[in-house]
Structure 1
Amino acid sequence: MSFLSRIMVLKSRAHFSAGARGVRYGGDGKNFEGIRKRKSKQARNRVALIMAGFMCFYCVIGGRLVVYAMKEPENTSSILPPDRLMASRPDILDRNGEVLATDIRTVSLFAEPHKIVDPDEVIEKLRTVLPDIDVKSTYSRLSSKSRFQWLRRQLTPKQQSQILALGIPGIGFRPEKRRFYPGGPTASHIIGYVNIDNRGVAGMERYIDTQGLADLASVGMTSDQPLEPVHLSIDIRVQAILRQVLVDFIDKFKAKGAGAVVLDANTGEVLAMGSAPDFDPNNPAEGGEEGWLNRMSNGTFEMGSTFKSFSLAMALDSGKSKLTDSYDARYPIRIGGFTINDLHGKHSFLTVPEIFQYSSNIGTAKMTDLVSIDYHKDFLTKLGLLTKMHTELPEVAQPTQPRVWKKVNQITISFGHGVSTTPLQTAVAGAALINGGKLIQPTFLPRTQEQADAVANQVIKPSTSKDMRWLFEWNGVKGSGRSARVEGFDVGGKTGTADKVVKGRYSREHNFNAFLAAFPMNNPKYVVLTFIDDPRTEGKTIPPLAAETAAPMVKEIIRRTAPILGVKPTFGDNGSALLVSY
C-alpha cells in the first residue's frame, strides 16, 4: 500500500470515530445517543420559552382590554355621551293631565371627516335628501381635520332611511330626544321651549331646569328613564279659548298685540294666560321677536283707568273717604303746567260710585289728594304694583315709576299715567281688591286653598274689599263694564283707556285698552284681565275705547269658559228665575 493510500485510510477512520466537538466515541455508540438526547431537550426548551413569551404577550393584551372595558368613557369630541344625549325631560301636563310637552326619540346626522374621501360627492348625495343643506359650511366640516362634525340635528325617520340608502361611508347617526308640544302655540308663553340640546330656554321649561335638572345634566347624572311629570295650574281648554279670542280681536282691530289672563282670585293659580302675537314652541325661530315677547308678564304698560280701582280702594282703605262721599268734578285741575280733564265729564259733584262709573280723572285725583305721596306709594307697593313680581315664570319685567314722586306724579298715577306695570301683576292686585283684601302671588303650579292662605298677605281691610266688589258690580251694570256682561254670570270690572307715548308725547291717535274684571260678583272666584295694544277702527282716526275692545274680549272669554270652570249661572234676583229653553 502506498504512503498516500495509508493516509486516506487513517483520515477515513478518524471521521467515524470523532464527535462534533472532537470527542472520540466508543465503538458501542452510547456517547452518540447521549448527544442526541441533549440536543432534543434543548429544542424542547426553546419551544417552551417561545410559547411562554407568546402567552405573556396575549395576557398583557387581554388585561389591557379588560381595563379599557371597565374604564369610564371620555368625551374627546364635541358630541355628548349617548346617555346624556338621550337624557329625558319630564312631561308637562295641565291641571287635568293633558300632555302639554313631551319627549320623542329622534336621530341626528354626523360625519367623521377623517373617513371622508370625497366631500363633494358626499354633499351631492346628501342634497338629494336634504336640499336645503348649506353647501359651503358642510364642505368646510367634511374637509376639517377633526374626527367628528354635526351635519344635521333631529332628522325625521324618513330622512334617516333615505340617507342610509345612499350608503355614504364616514357618516352616521346618533340617537337624541326632541321636545314635542302637541298644542303648538296654544300655551307657548307659559310652557316656553327648549334649544337644540333639549335644554330649557324660556317659560316653565326653563323653570324646570332651574330647579336642578340643568345642574344634573351638566355633571352627567341624568338618564333616559322617564321622569315624574310636572303638572301646571292651567286648563288647556280655557287656554285654547283665550288664545283664539286674542287672535280674533287682533285681526278685528288690526292691533299690534293683545293679552289676557284668567286667575283664580282665591288661590292665585293661573288658569290661562296668553300674549299675541305668539310662536310655535316646536319651531320657535319662526315666531320672531314680536312672537317671543310675553306681554302679560314681561311687558310693562301704563294701565290707564284700571288704576282708578286701586286709587279708590286706597282712599276707602285709609278711612278718609266713604262710598257716600261726593267730590267736586265741575272744573279741570291745573297742576305743574298740565290740565286734567274728564273724557266723559259731567261737570258736577260726583259720588264715589259715579266717579268709578264715569271714570272721572278729576274725581279720582280729588280722592287721591286725601292721602300723602308716601302713603300712595306705599299702598301701590303693598299691592305689588311697583316691585318685580315673584312667580315661577322666568320672564317677568320690573315696573317703572318716577325717580322722585311729586304732586303732579301722584295725581297722574291715580288714573293710570306715570307708572308702567305688567298686566299680570295688575290682575293679581285686582284679585286682592275683591277676594277679601289678600295679595296672593300668582303661580303656574297647582295650589290648594290652604297653601294659598299660608302665602297670602292682607293688604287692605275686608270692608274695603267688600266696597270694591260693590263698585265693580255697579260699573258692570251701569258703567263702562256693561259691554262685558254675560247673562247669568254677574260680571263686574273697570275699563282703562290710556294714550300711548309717541316720540316722548302722549298721542290721542294711539292708545292701550284694558279691562279688569271679576265674576261672579256675588262671590268672586275668578279675575279676568284683557288688553289690546293700539287697536284701529277702519275709517276712523280716533282709536276705539276699552269699552269697545277689551271689555268685549272679557265677555267672549267668560261666556265660553265659565261653564268649563264650573261656575253655575244664575238668573233673576238671587237666582230665583229659571231659564227654560224648548
Structure 2
Amino acid sequence: MALAHENFAPPISLDGARKVRGNLTQARIRWMIFAIVLGFALVSARLVQLGMVVPDSTIEGQARDLITATRPPILDRNGLEMAVDIRVPSLFAEPRRIIDVEEAVQKLRTVIPDLDEKWLRDRLTGDKGFVWLKRELSPSIQERVMRLGIPGIDFITESKRFYPGMAEASHVLGSTNIDNQGIAGIERHMDGENVALLQELGLARGNALTPVELSIDMRTQHVMHEQLMDAMTRYQAIAAAGIMLDVHTGEVIALASVPDFNPNDPASALVKDSFNRITAGIFEPGSIFKTVTIAGALDSGAVSVSDQFDARFGVRFGRFTIDDFHGKHRILSLPEVYKYSSNIGTIRIMQAMGKEPYRQFLSTMGFDQRVPFELPEMRLPTVPKQLSEVGAATASFGHGLSVSPLHMAVAYAAFVNGGNYVPPTLYKRDLGEAESLYRRVLQPSTSDALRYLMRLNALEGSGSQMNKEALGYRVGGKTGTAEKVVDGRYSSSKVTNFFASAFPLDNPRYAMVIMVDEPKAENPQSGTTAGWNAGTVTGRIVQRVAPMLGIAPDFSEALDQALKPAGVY
C-alpha cells in the first residue's frame, strides 16, 4: 500500500500544478485583453476629443489664411499692373519660449530701435503662444534679427499690397490695411462689399485666383491726374476732379480727384479734403444741369429746337426775381438759350414741360438715387421729392439740388449715345453685355438735338475756350458755375465750376465731367467762370488723350453742319 501511495502521489501533485498554471495563464490573457481594449478605448476617446477641438487658426484674432493670403493683381484695360502683392517678413514672438526677456529686449532694439522698450518687455513676458512684434519688415532687417539667435523669435511671410502708380489712381483702387484686407475703393469691393446688390446689377467681377481687369486706361488716367494737379496750381483751386467714361459700354476710362492720397500709405487717406469728389461728393451742378432740363422738355414734345422763348425780363417769384448772368434781354431761340446759358430761357422751357413731368424726368435719369457703381465711397443725392414753382425754376438751371459728378457723367453719356442710360462700371465690359443693361431714357432724335446744342456751345458759346484747346476733336459740352452757400447765402466769390462734355460729337465715344473748386483767375485777362478753368482743363485733356484712344483729328466744317437738325438755321 505504501508503494501504491508512493506511485500515485506525484501525478496528483503534477496535475494540480498544471491546473494552477493554466488558470494563471488564462487570467493573464484576460488582463492583457482588458488592457489592450482599455488602451484602444482611451486612444479612441482621445481621438474623438481631438476631433471635437477646433484648432486655433488665428494670429491675435486674425485668421492665418487671411494674413498670409495673396490678393489678385489689378490690371488696367491694357494689362498694365495697377496693384500687385509683394511678400514681406513680419516679426513675431512666442513668449513662453523666451529664456531671457531682458536679453531679448536689448538685442532686438539694436536692430529695430523704434520698438518701445517697455512695450516690447510686456509683449515678451507671459505664456502666450504668439504675439506680433513688427509687421512688414525688409529682408535685410529679417537677416539681422535672425543672426541674433534669440529663442522664441521668428518670422512669418505676409503679403503686402503695392501700387506702382502711387497716387494717380488712388480713389479708384482704394487701399488695404496691414492684414492685406481691402478697406476702400475697388480693393474693398473685391473683398465683397455690396456684392449682392452689384451681382443683381451685373457689376460683380473677378475672383481671388485670377487677375482683376479694370476698365481704367492708365495712359488717360495719368493725363487726367496731371491736368487736375496743374489746375490746382494754375487756378489756385482748393480741389479738382474728373471722370471720363465710354458712352456705349459705361466703362470708366479715367477717374481722379485731388487732393488725393498715396495708397501705399493708407493713413494719408485720412488727410482733410482727400475724399473722392466724383462719387462721395454732391454739389449743386449749376448750368450743366440746363442740358438735363432741355433734354426732358425736348423729349416730352413740349418744346422743339426751333422754338423761341421770351427772355426780355427776369422771372418773378413773389419778391424775388431770377435774371440772367449775362442777359441778352430779348427773344431767344432754344439754341440761343443754351449757348448764352440763359436762366430765364431755361425756366421758360421747364415751365412749358410742367414741373410734375419735369420732376418725373429727374427720376427717370436717376438723379434722386445712388448710381449703381462698384466704389463703396458714395453719397446719396439730395433732390426734393416734390418741386414748388420756384423750386422747379431754380432746379432747371442747377440750383436747389445736389448730385455727384458721376450722376452728371452718366446722364451726358445717355444724352449723346442715342438716349440709353447705361450703368457705369470700373470693370471691363463688352458692348453686348452693356446693351443688355440699357434703359432707354430719350428718343434718338432728342439725342441728336442735344449733340448739336453741345457742339454749338463749343463753337459759339461758353465752351469756346475749351474748343481752342481741343481743335479737330469735335468736342461739345456745357459750362456750369455754381455759387457756394456761405453762412446760409450764395457767395459770388466762392464758386464750384463744372464742364460736362462729350467727344467726338459726330460719332460720340466718350463723356467727361471736370470740376474745379473755388478757382481764381489765371491772369488779369481771364475770368473765374467755368469756361476759363474747367473748360480749358477739358480741352487740354482731350487734346492729349484723343490720339491714344484712336480718335483722329478732323477739321472739316461739314462734320459740324451735319449735326444741325432740320428747321434750324
TM-score band, normalised by shorter chain: 0.7 to 0.9
Percent of residue pairs bearing the same amino acid type: 42
Contact 2:163/2:264, CA 8 A, preserved across alignment = yes
Give the secondary-structure state (helix, strand or coil) at the position aligned to 2:192.
Answer: helix
1:339 corresponds to which residue?
Answer: 321
Matched letter for residue 323 of structure 1: V
Matched letter for residue 333 of structure 1: V
2:481 corresponds to which residue?
Answer: 497
Give the secondary-structure state (helix, strand or coil) at the position aligned to 1:381.
Answer: helix
CA deviation after TM superposition for structure 1 residue 145, in Å: 4.8
Tell me whether 1:557 sits opposite 2:541 in the alignment.
Answer: yes
1:130 corresponds to which residue?
Answer: 112
The aligned runs of 1:129-148 (5 Å cut-off) are 129-148=111-130
Tell me whether 1:306 sits opposite 2:288 in the alignment.
Answer: yes
1:579 corresponds to which residue?
Answer: none
Question: CA distance change for structure 1 residues 128 and 574 in 2, over 3 Å: closer, same or farther?
Answer: farther
> Matches of 1:401 and 1:134 in 2, distance apart?
53
1:364 corresponds to which residue?
Answer: 346
Matched letter for residue 224 of structure 2: L
> Matches of 2:360 and 2:400 in 1, distance apart?
16
Contact 2:66/2:179, CA 8 A, preserved across alignment = no
Q: Which segment drifts farther, 65-74 or 562-571?
A: 65-74
CA deviation after TM superposition for structure 1 residue 573, in Å: 3.2
Matched letter for residue 287 of structure 1: A
Contact 1:279/1:291, CA 8 A, preserved across alignment = no
Contact 1:509/1:543, CA 8 A, preserved across alignment = no
Contact 2:368/2:382, CA 8 A, preserved across alignment = yes
The gaps in structure 1 that reach 5 residues or longer are: 1-33, 215-224, 577-582
Contact 1:85/1:175, CA 8 A, preserved across alignment = no
> Matches of 1:213 and 1:480 in 2, distance apart?
42
Match of 1:171 among 127, 143, 153: 153
1:457 corresponds to which residue?
Answer: 439
Matched letter for residue 512 of structure 1: T
| Deviation readout 1:533-554 (Å, 9 max, x if unpaired) | 11134798x9711011100110
1:293 corresponds to which residue?
Answer: 275
Larger Rg: 1
CA deviation after TM superposition for structure 1 residue 339, in Å: 2.4
Tell me whether 1:571 sits opposite 2:552 in the alignment.
Answer: no
1:239 corresponds to which residue?
Answer: 221
2:248 corresponds to which residue?
Answer: 266
| Deviation readout 1:1-48 (Å, 9 max, x if unpaired) | xxxxxxxxxxxxxxxxxxxxxxxxxxxxxxxxx9xxx9xx9xxx9xx9
Matched letter for residue 477 of structure 2: G
CA deviation after TM superposition for structure 1 residue 254, in Å: 2.1
| Deviation readout 1:117-146 (Å, 9 max, x if unpaired) | 554543433333333334443333233553
Tell me whether 1:75 sits opposite 2:59 in the alignment.
Answer: no
2:202 corresponds to which residue?
Answer: none
Contact 2:303/2:353, CA 8 A, preserved across alignment = no
Match of 2:92 among 86, 105, 110: 110
| Deviation readout 1:45-89 (Å, 9 max, x if unpaired) | 9xx99x999999999999999999999971176265654432222
Question: CA distance change for structure 1 residues 79 and 380 in 2, over 3 Å: closer, same or farther?
Answer: closer
Question: CA distance change for structure 1 residues 213 and 200 in 2, over 3 Å: closer, same or farther?
Answer: farther
1:436 corresponds to which residue?
Answer: 418
Matched letter for residue 114 of structure 1: R
Contact 1:82/1:175, CA 8 A, preserved across alignment = no
1:487 corresponds to which residue?
Answer: 471
Q: Which segment drifts farther, 133-142 or 171-180?
A: 133-142
Question: CA distance change for structure 1 residues 313 and 138 in 2, over 3 Å: closer, same or farther?
Answer: same
The aligned runs of 1:365-444 (5 Å cut-off) are 365-402=347-384, 404-444=386-426
The gaps in structure 2 that reach 5 residues or longer are: 1-13, 197-206, 561-569
1:218 corresponds to which residue?
Answer: none
**Greater than 6 Å deviation, 4+ residue runs:** 51-73, 211-214
Contact 1:82/1:174, CA 8 A, preserved across alignment = no
| Deviation readout 1:326-356 (Å, 9 max, x if unpaired) | 1111222221443212111111111111111
CA deviation after TM superposition for structure 1 residue 572, in Å: 2.6
Give the secondary-structure state (helix, strand or coil) at the position aligned to 1:334.
Answer: strand
Give the secondary-structure state (helix, strand or coil) at the position aligned to 2:254.
Answer: strand
Question: CA distance change for structure 1 residues 404 and 378 in 2, over 3 Å: closer, same or farther?
Answer: closer
Give the secondary-structure state (helix, strand or coil) at the position aligned to 1:571.
Answer: coil
| Deviation readout 1:284-317 (Å, 9 max, x if unpaired) | 1123243651110111011110000111111211
Tell me whether 1:93 sits opposite 2:75 in the alignment.
Answer: yes
Contact 2:295/2:446, CA 8 A, preserved across alignment = yes
> Matches of 2:157 and 2:195 in 1, distance apart?
20
Contact 2:359/2:386, CA 8 A, preserved across alignment = no
The normalised TM-score by structure 2 is 0.84
Contact 1:336/1:408, CA 8 A, preserved across alignment = no
The aligned runs of 1:163-242 (5 Å cut-off) are 163-210=145-192, 227-242=209-224
> Matches of 1:512 and 1:226 in 2, distance apart?
41
Give the secondary-structure state (helix, strand or coil) at the position aligned to 1:109.
Answer: strand
Tell me whether 1:512 sits opposite 2:496 in the alignment.
Answer: yes
CA deviation after TM superposition for structure 1 residue 251, in Å: 1.8
Contact 2:248/2:509, CA 8 A, preserved across alignment = yes
Q: Which segment drifts farther, 525-534 or 248-257?
A: 248-257
> Matches of 2:271 and 2:362 in 1, distance apart?
31
2:201 corresponds to which residue?
Answer: none
Matched letter for residue 93 of structure 1: L
Q: Which segment drifts farther, 528-537 or 467-476?
A: 528-537
Contact 2:176/2:266, CA 8 A, preserved across alignment = no
> Matches of 1:211 and 1:339 in 2, distance apart?
47
Matched letter for residue 412 of structure 1: T
1:18 corresponds to which residue?
Answer: none
Matched letter for residue 503 of structure 2: F
> Matches of 1:412 and 1:132 in 2, distance apart?
59
Question: CA distance change for structure 1 residues 478 and 161 in 2, over 3 Å: closer, same or farther?
Answer: same
> Matches of 2:47 and 2:302 in 1, distance apart?
86
> Matches of 1:226 and 1:398 in 2, distance apart?
30
1:547 corresponds to which residue?
Answer: 531
Matched letter for residue 187 of structure 2: E
CA deviation after TM superposition for structure 1 residue 234, in Å: 0.9
CA deviation after TM superposition for structure 1 residue 574, in Å: 4.1
